[in-house]
Amino acid sequence: MTEAAVSSAPKARTTARRPDSIRLLLNNSLATGGFIVLVAVALVALAAPFLPLADPDVTAPANRLMPPFSPDHFLGTDALGRDILSRIVWGTRVSLAVGLSATVIAAFFGSLIGLVAGYAAGRVDSVLMRGIDMIMAFPYILLALAIVAVLGPGLLNALYAIAVVNIPFFARNIRGITLGLSRREFVDAARLSGKSNVQILFIEVLPNVLPVIIITMSTTIGWMILETAGLSFLGLGAQPPQADLGSMLGEGRKILFTAPHVSVVPGLMILVLVMSINLFGDGVRDVLDPRLKSGVLTRPVARTTIDRKEAPSGLKPRGDAVLDVQDLRTEFHLGGTVYKAAGGVDLHLAQGECLGVVGESGSGKSVSAMSIMGLVPSPPGRIVGGAAFLGDEDLFSLSDERIRQLRGADVSHVFQDPLSTLHPLFTIGDQLTEAILAHRRITRSQARKIAEDLLKLVRIPNPAERLKVYPHELSGGMRQRICIAMALANDAKVMIADEPTTALDVTVQAQILSLMNTLRHERNAAILFITHDFGVVSAICDRVAVMYAGKVVETGTTEEILNSPAHPYTAKLIDCVPVLGEPERRLDAIEGRPPMVNNLPQGCAFADRCPKAQADCRAAPISVTEIAEGRSVRCLHPVKEGEHV
Ligand SMILES: Nc1ncnc2c1ncn2[C@@H]1O[C@H](COP(=O)(O)OP(=O)(O)OP(=O)(O)O)[C@@H](O)[C@H]1O
């Protein structure tokens, strides 16, 4: 078996790019609204000394409690005859400054404690975290009150108090993230390169934590303004005659019924300020969070959105196929750009057959396979055309409940990395039993017995004992066997295996392939096997579908494809594979890169890299031609028998 993978071809992933941060923020209308209001309020507050406003502290008893819209006093006056408009502008300035400063202080000290505790771990972590726990053990507002009581009332002391009570919030968050990061390989690599702990902490770890600090700050600042206002309201923050929003609210409280505008105006200002900061903060969080790739506020739903423009009335399941995917079109919509990841994919699988899907990275293999059971994340993914028949049922027309029943029962999945597929906190036995009980009405002990039999089936020695272990206690090969056992737990008709052996070493890979081959014959299950590796294809697949830029460009039996590839792309892919024992053989990397799937050419997507391309290849979309029974190619000038491209 040849070892090399098609991935030895130039890495040419057509990455679906994330729109830039400003555009993402603008896409979120609530965040944009919050930002505009916040900037407007901040500009007015900053410009306070230059605005033609009355002195906020000058009292005028003759003008006391004038209602809003009075001459010279647009928002009226308070109990001492001071202009409310002027006090609001100056008060907002103070509240913003205090909230911002308290956030910066809390973020600085909290993050520093979190970074050191998470990185140093052990005793340092224990000491720092117990200190933080002590602060957290007091109700925070009580603690803030106690601090101000000790330091004395005043705006600066209120600021310190609010900052101190918020330090644990940052420390806890940042410590958790640092703890995970410090055990990552890039930190080990930095250590091996001779960097000191301080350098590692600030050069390697901090940049990874920074987005979280910014996100936490942006969502905390509104809260800090509220807390400062709370202390001022109680008379512990800003002292007369200085105004901040909380102290203005406190003063207005006493005359709430006789002159409501005195408290309503600062109350509304706090609402507007905190709301705009929170909405903007949420927007910043969504932009900085890479998991929200599309920048939309929604989380992926449990099933890919089906958005077929028209019902595929002409599509019917073909003959003996257990799984028949026809003209599958799956797109990703990212900030106005459409990525056609699967652009009309046809795949069919007979019972007990293994179909290999090969192609360069980014050609749409995984997206096509994941679309079948609706596992492509939505948003941003959506299925916009085609059908996938499981027997007679079109999977894209079924209810969510029916899909849930079929997942793991009729169609199961085996993924590349078993460690991330298996739950780290449950034993193998628990996870297998759970998979069985999800689809069968049997007792837990019966399910446990089936789980033990499954482990025997996948050749795991001492199965009863292995049921009690956790995933991290097993080797990579063993873990993948467990995943295969799980995929077989409910006698699935179709197993979709997405590069299940890529993460394994050669010997274990051979064992897993041989196991899958035996099991599919024993159980008559069909396998859709995604791989980069023609060696793997020749070991297990009956037929092969070659994908390029979201389309199947050639299908045929493994023997036909490997011995006489018809599409120049297939021929080039095979030429990339080194053959053991033939060191002198020339390895031809495919020149150029695949096109971006958001900008596909009108004609053949491979034309720019193809030595046989002619003008007609670029003129119009190329349809599939059947060149022999069960053998088809999407090419106008296929490679002839014995021809070298
Ligand atoms: N969640 C996603 N959001 C946006 N684009 C995506 C997403 N998943 C995949 N894509 C894009 O869809 C296209 C096809 O990706 P896919 O993962 O199917 O390729 P592949 O052939 O399986 O590659 P590989 O072998 O590297 O896994 C790529 O351009 C990819 O960037």
For 497-510, write each residue's pLDDT tens digit. Answer: 998 887 777 887 88
Tell me the pLDDT tens digit for each residue of 430-452.
Answer: 999 998 998 888 999 999 999 99
Confidence class of residue 12 from pLDDT cuts 50, 70 and 90? very low
Question: What's the gap in Å between 365 CA and the centre of ligand 1?
Answer: 8
Q: Are 204 and 195 a contacting pair, CB within 8 Å?
A: yes
Q: Rounded to two decimals, what is the model's pTM?
A: 0.66
Percent of the chain at pLDDT > 70 equals: 93
Return d(Cα 553, Cα 572) in angstroms, integer.
Answer: 13
Query: Is 363's C-beta closer than 6 angstroms to any atom of ligand 1?
Result: yes
Query: Is 362's C-beta closer than 6 angstroms to any atom of ligand 1?
Result: yes
- Cβ-in-10-Å burial (0-12, 13-18, 19+) of 405 comes to middle
Percent of the chain at pLDDT > 90 equals: 44
Query: Is 380's C-beta closer than 6 angstroms to any atom of ligand 1?
Result: yes
> Which is the closest atom of ligand 1 to the Cα of 7?
25
Confidence class of residue 261 from pLDDT cuts 50, 70 and 90? very high
Confidence class of residue 111 from pLDDT cuts 50, 70 and 90? very high
| pLDDT of 7 | 40
Structure token digits, residue 391:
């027997």
- Which DSSP state fits 118? H
Question: What's the gap in Å between 421 CA and the centre of ligand 1?
Answer: 19
| pLDDT of 5 | 39
| Cis-peptide into 418, omega within 30 deg | no
Atom 24 of ligand 1, nearest CA residue: 361
Return d(Cα 96, Cα 498) in angstroms, integer.
Answer: 53
| pLDDT of 92 | 93
| pLDDT of 41 | 94
Return d(Cα 105, Cα 166) in angstroms, integer.
Answer: 9
| pLDDT of 18 | 53
The dihedrals phi and psi of 623, each to the nearest 5 degrees, come to: -90, 170
Tell me the pLDDT tens digit for each residue of 529-564.
Answer: 999 888 889 989 999 999 999 999 999 999 999 999
| pLDDT of 292 | 54
Atom 26 of ligand 1, nearest CA residue: 361
| pLDDT of 290 | 54
Q: Are 121 and 179 a contacting pair, CB within 8 Å?
A: yes
Query: Is 221's C-beta closer than 6 angstroms to any atom of ligand 1?
Result: no
Query: Is 448's C-beta closer than 6 angstroms to any atom of ligand 1?
Result: no
Mean pLDDT of the chain: 86
Atom 19 of ligand 1, nearest CA residue: 362
Name the residue type at position 115: L
Strand 381-390 relative to strand 494-498, pairing:
unpaired
Query: Is 332's C-beta closer than 6 angstroms to any atom of ligand 1?
Result: yes
Query: Is 534's C-beta closer than 6 angstroms to any atom of ligand 1?
Result: no
Residue 557 pairs in a beta bridge with 543
Confidence class of residue 2 from pLDDT cuts 50, 70 and 90? very low
Query: Is 358's C-beta closer than 6 angstroms to any atom of ligand 1?
Result: no
Atom 4 of ligand 1, nearest CA residue: 16
Confidence class of residue 581 from pLDDT cuts 50, 70 and 90? low
Query: Is 15's C-beta closer than 6 angstroms to any atom of ligand 1?
Result: yes
- Cβ-in-10-Å burial (0-12, 13-18, 19+) of 313 comes to exposed
| pLDDT of 422 | 87
How many other β-carbons are positioned within 10 Å of the β-carbon of residue 39?
12
Confidence class of residue 588 from pLDDT cuts 50, 70 and 90? low
What structural domains and CATH numbers belong to the chain?
Answer: 61-288 (1.10.3720.10), 418-489 (no CATH)
End-to-end CA distance of the chain: 24
Return d(Cα 5, Cα 40) in angstroms, integer.
Answer: 57
Tell me the pLDDT tens digit for each residue of 170-229.
Answer: 999 999 999 989 888 889 888 888 889 999 999 999 988 988 898 788 878 888 888 888
Structure token digits, residue 15:
């990455």
Q: DSSP secondary structure string, 158-219? A: HHHHHHHHHHHHHHHHHHHHHHHHTTSHHHHHHHHTT--HHHIIIIIIHHHHHHHHHHHHHH
| pLDDT of 583 | 62
The owner of tokens 């000290």 is 109
Element (H, E) at 125: helix 122-137
Let me know how long the chain is.
Answer: 645
Atom 28 of ligand 1, nearest CA residue: 362
Provide ipTM, 2 decimals. 0.94
Whether 401 has a pLDDT exceeding 60, the answer reads yes
Query: Which residues fall within 8 angstroms of residue 39, CB to CB, at 6 or more apart?
Result: none
Among 319-323, 331-335, 366-370, the range with the most confident prediction by mean pLDDT is 366-370
